[in-house]
Amino acid sequence: MSSFLPTIHAQNKARTYLERFYRSGKIPHALRFVGPPSVGKMTTARQWAKLLLCADSDLASLEACGQCSSCHSFESGTHPDLITLAPAPGKKAIGVDEVRELILAARLYPLISSRKLFLLDEADSMGASAQNSLLKILEEAPENQFIILICRQEETLLPTVLSRTVRLPFDALRQDDLAALLPSGQEDYLSLYEWQSFQGREEEAALCQQVWQQVSLLGRLSEAEEVWSTISKRDRDFFVLLCDFLLPRYQQATITTTDEQRKELLRRFGVTLEWRRALEENANVVLSFYNWLLRMSESSQLKDTR
Ligand SMILES: [Zn+2]
């Protein structure tokens, strides 16, 4: 069995299509990946891009070489010939101006690969005018350019966009697919969604896990000075990630604990939820972190002196 796209082995249909395209050498210029959120659409698109951009990919195994300058740029997240577009922060959709910029970028030759790839996340949220602008690149894409539209639904796409893109279906994951997808040993504390958000961010995942050990009832907050000083230097994005990591754990933990513990877990859940909201409302990052930590330790200090 080929090791192509190992992270999406559950998506057999999509993988089979891509393998066929690649082996036949007839690679469609415009694809649309359609399926529910968090089933591997963007992961697949990125793996596919890596393969197409690689200078020395292996046709038998369908793997990028991992050694060429394209693969190195890809891994460092700075590949100049891979352009990913997503709705700007605070915006619901990719706008017309962004699509126009993309069309300008498409006129330039690739810099380090022989091809150029464009990935459009949440493409189905684009308005009609953005989609109309996009038609230009869908209709007149040069030989060496490829575009992937990543969509949850297709109803919002114009018929002209639909007819100019090849559809690849992505299915909802079954429970056994999920278990197989998770790296071994991480099943206990990482959901698939989290695993995807933490890919390439192992250090942050480990840090979140350390924090959880301290703020669950097992650890004592006052004994984790080192963790807190590491954490306090992080940015808003990390703290939001941390809140999203902790909140479901509190909910789960309340199921198996005693009444007294449950009360405390729910309190900490509430404190963390408030912190999450404060971060969303642009509260000062460092201050809100220390405020959270203070409120989290309120009752653990009581426990410590008991
Ligand atoms: Zn390579």
Residue 115 Cα to ligand 1 middle (Å):
13
Say if residues 247 and 190 touch (Cβ distance below 8 Å): no
CA 301 – CA 303 distance, rounded (Å)? 5
Residue 84 Cα to ligand 1 middle (Å):
19
Residue 70 Cα to ligand 1 middle (Å):
6
pLDDT tens sequence for the chain (306 residues): 334 454 455 677 888 889 889 988 899 999 999 988 767 788 889 889 999 999 998 877 788 999 999 999 998 888 999 999 988 878 889 999 999 999 888 888 999 999 999 999 999 999 999 999 999 889 887 889 999 999 988 999 999 999 999 999 988 766 555 455 444 444 444 555 566 666 667 778 888 888 887 887 766 777 777 778 888 888 888 898 899 888 877 776 766 667 777 788 888 888 998 999 899 888 899 899 989 988 888 765 444 433
Could you give the 3-state DSSP secondary structure of residue 162? helix
Helix and strand numbers, DSSP H then E, in the chain: 13, 5
Smallest CA-to-CA distance from 212 within 272, 258, 260 is with 272
- Work out the burial of residue 97: count CB atoms within 10 Å of its CB; fewer than 13 is exposed, 13-18 middle, 19 or more buried: exposed
Residue located via tokens 């993309």: 102
In this structure, the dihedral spanned by the alpha carbons of residues 117, 122, 125 and 126, taken in order and rounded to 10 degrees, is -20
Q: Return the bridge partners of 224, or none.
A: none
Residue 138 Cα to ligand 1 middle (Å):
27
Residue 113 Cα to ligand 1 middle (Å):
9
Pairing of strands 30-34, 166-169: parallel
Say if residues 96 and 130 touch (Cβ distance below 8 Å): yes
Residue 204 has a pLDDT of 82
Say if residues 241 and 197 touch (Cβ distance below 8 Å): yes
Residue 185 Cα to ligand 1 middle (Å):
30
Residue 170 Cα to ligand 1 middle (Å):
26
Residue 181 has a pLDDT of 47
CA 239 – CA 212 distance, rounded (Å)? 13
Could you give the 3-state DSSP secondary structure of residue 118? strand
- HSE-CB for 116 with a 13 A CA cutoff: 19
Could you give the 3-state DSSP secondary structure of residue 72? helix
Q: What is the largest CA-CA distance in the chain?
A: 73
Say if residues 173 and 192 touch (Cβ distance below 8 Å): yes
Radius of gyration of the chain (CA): 23
Predicted TM-score of the model (pTM): 0.60
CA 292 – CA 273 distance, rounded (Å)? 10
Indicate the fold that domain 6-178 takes in CATH.
Rossmann fold (3.40.50)
Report domain extents, the chain: 6-178, 183-304
Residue 63 Cα to ligand 1 middle (Å):
9
